[in-house]
Chains A and B, each alone.
Chain A
Amino acid sequence: MQGDAPDHARATEAMIDRLSRAAGPVRPLPPPWKRVPGWLALALGFAVAMIWAIGPRPDLAERLVDARFLLEQGAALATAIAAAMAALALTVPGMGRGWRLVPVLPGTLWLGTLGLGCLRDWAAMGPEGLRLSPDPACFTFIALIGSLPVVVLYMMLRRGVPLAPRLTLALAVLASAAIGNFALRFFHMQDVALMVLVWQVGAVMLMAALAALAGRRILRWSDSGLPA
């Protein structure tokens, strides 16, 4: 091993030369907070189109003045924004590990409002308020509405560096699915907190968990942009 060291060192020198010759100008990556608004506009635009296509719920006007509905929806949207921002920040080296905690607060608020909602439903309706019936359509709708945002966010993440692929992809899917759930509640007549918590938020969390499992395979260092 000792004898071939100079050869390897020479190979490294040659590679440095090749890389520095090939290092053309690149478009620097804007910080996450400047990239999220564009993504959000696109995701919400797609969501509005889907709501329009499926048809909004008939009691939408009532819902829009209901503080609890607004709080739950606000928390879902805040979770989506925070998760998208954290995912983008995780692909920038040296951004600091604190970024991964950004979605914790809105996420807790989201789960908290729904948890409180369960208690309130129970107080108002008794056991009926905590009855769980299957609602598989939620999963499909959330996946459908989240599909375009997640593809766009994935392409944005590819411009960065896959430093923590599992967490990054899980956050990206969380952000997109949260947008899906946000939109879902504008046309899906389901406000029982436990049902929302289990079937809707449950679907979002399941998708994020699956993304975490596949993260290392999907987000990887690419060979693109390398000199031959």
Chain B
Amino acid sequence: MGNADVEDMVQDILLSLHRARASWDPTRPFLPWLVTIARNRLADNARRYARRNALDLAVRDITETFCDVPTNGGAESVVNFLAVREAMNSLSPTERRAVELVRLREMSLVEAAEESGSTVAAMKVAVHRAMLKLRTALRAKE
């Protein structure tokens, strides 16, 4: 539950206190009145939250929730993955190795140079060229 949810609940309790203000008797203690309303609203919200969560869980495995392709998170990431893999095939073996080490495994240029038995400068150039090629390949797809 995030801050926004908590804040929603606080607002809901405040609204409820406002609606219920006629039921407060000044001759009676204030705290039990307040606590009863707050607890009641919390229980109502917890019930709603549990219901919504159950629904979220139920639809989580359904990939296609909307007709529009970009709104389908799952489908979109599959398309992106395929496009990137195809673009990677257009790279030379050295460039592909460089991208793999520096961008995907997030090694530093020094580590990557050591790993592939190359120099830092050569690594830099290879990554730069590979990124340019990938960008062109992916842009051509759009």
Which residues from chain A sit less than 8 Å from chain B, CB to CB? 1-2, 4-5, 8-9, 11-12, 15-16, 19, 22-23, 26-29, 31, 91-94, 159-161, 163, 221-222, 224-226
A98 to chain B, nearest CB (A): 13
- Does the CB pair A28–B3 fall under 8 Å? no
Measured in the bound complex, the distance between the Cα atoms of B21 and A86 in whole Å is 20
Tell yes or no: B25 within 8 A of A by CB.
yes
A137 to chain B, nearest CB (A): 40
Measured in the bound complex, the distance between the Cα atoms of B20 and A93 in whole Å is 9
User: Please, could you name 22 A-B residue pairs with CB atoms under 8 Å apart, sorted by A?
Assistant: A2-B3, A8-B3, A8-B4, A8-B7, A11-B7, A12-B10, A16-B14, A19-B18, A23-B21, A26-B22, A91-B23, A93-B23, A93-B33, A94-B29, A94-B31, A94-B33, A94-B35, A94-B36, A161-B20, A161-B23, A225-B18, A226-B19
B: interface residue count bin? 20 to 34
Contacts of A5 in B (CB 8 A): 3-4, 7
Measured in the bound complex, the distance between the Cα atoms of B24 and A28 in whole Å is 7
Tell yes or no: B108 within 8 A of A by CB.
no
Contacts of A29 in B (CB 8 A): 22-23, 25
- Does the CB pair B19–A28 fall under 8 Å? no
Measured in the bound complex, the distance between the Cα atoms of B18 and A28 in whole Å is 13
CB < 8 Å A-B pair total: 83
- Does the CB pair A94–B10 fall under 8 Å? no
Residue among B29, B36, B37 facing the most chain A CB atoms (10 A cut-off)? B36
Tell yes or no: B26 within 8 A of A by CB.
yes
Top 9 nearest A-B pairs (CB, nearest first) are A1-B2, A94-B32, A8-B7, A93-B36, A94-B33, A5-B3, A26-B22, A161-B20, A93-B33
Contacts of B29 in A (CB 8 A): 94
Contacts of B53 in A (CB 8 A): none
- Does the CB pair B3–A4 fall under 8 Å? yes
Tell yes or no: B16 within 8 A of A by CB.
yes
Contacts of B32 in A (CB 8 A): 93-94
B9 to chain A, nearest CB (A): 10
Given contacts A93-B20, A163-B40, A222-B19, 5 further A-B contacts (CB under 8 A): A9-B7, A28-B22, A28-B26, A94-B28, A94-B29
Measured in the bound complex, the distance between the Cα atoms of B20 and A143 in whole Å is 31
Contacts of B69 in A (CB 8 A): none
- Does the CB pair A12–B33 fall under 8 Å? no
